[in-house]
Amino acid sequence: MKIFLIGFMGCGKSTLGRKLATKLGYDLIDLDHQIEKNTGLAVGDYFSTHGEEAFRKLESETLQAFNYPKNCVIATGGGTPCFFDNIDWMNANGTTIYIEMPPTALAKRLESGIAKRPLLRNLTPEGVLEFIESKLAEREPFYTKAALVMSGISLTADDIRAEILARN
Binding residues for substrate: 32, 56, 78, 139
Binding residues for Mg(2+): 14
3-state secondary structure of 9: coil
Residue 144 DSSP class = T
Binding residues for ATP: 10-15, 117
Question: How many other C-beta atoms can be found within 10 angstroms of the C-beta atom of residue 141?
Answer: 11
Binding residues: 10-15, 32, 56, 78, 117, 139
- Contact indicator for 2, 69 with CB cutoff of 8 Å: no
Q: Tell me the one-letter amino acid at 165.
A: L
**Cβ contacts of residue 89 below 8 Å, gap of 6+?**
63, 64
